[in-house]
Amino acid sequence: MNNYHRGQIVEKVIKGDGYKLKNLALKLGVSRGTLYKYFNQADLSSEFIIKLGRIIKHDFRQEIPSLVEDMREKKVEKEVENVDDKHDEFNRELEQELVTVQRKYYELLEEYTNVISFLVKISTEKQFEALNARIRELIKHKNFS
């Protein structure tokens, strides 16, 4: 646990830099009273401190060294979330590709079944001419050539 009060440190820096609390509260979209409530928080969040720092153009890492570690942890968490998001997206793409391949497989299977059914119907040599014509028709129709 830290031995310092983050809210008080932030308040001291802001007042020391001469930044008007009214202006800061306005930029944060909160009241001055809410801003003082933040200053009373010993464990003020790193995200909020960094946000304040960006507004007043101050790097609080000197006053609050644990911000560095907090920022690293948040970065690692964010990277893990990004990997999870990419993994989920990859799985969705794979599922879509699988559905497409299955659909094509079923279409080809149906055509194959039609060809086999037609071949079974042929029983005499005369019908080979009909088979030849039917195969040419299928090849032309499905662009198998």
Residue in the structure block whose two tokens are 């983050």: 6
Q: What is the mean pLDDT of the chain?
A: 81
Q: Please choose, from the candidates 20, 71, 82, 78, the residue with its C-alpha nearest in 3D space to the C-alpha of residue 45.
A: 71
Q: Please choose, from the candidates 62, 30, 61, 66, the residue with its C-alpha nearest in 3D space to the C-alpha of residue 39.
A: 30
pLDDT band at 123 (very low <50, low <70, confident <90, very high): low
Give me the architecture of the 6-64 domain, per CATH.
Orthogonal Bundle (1.10)
Higher-confidence residue: 61 or 80? 61
Boundaries of every domain in the chain: 6-64, 70-142
Chain segment 12-55, per-residue pLDDT in tens: 999 988 888 898 889 888 999 999 999 999 988 888 888 888 88
- CB burial class (10 A; 0-12, 13-18, 19+) of residue 52? buried
- What tokens appear for 80 in the block? 């893990």
CB atoms within 10 A of CB 101: 10
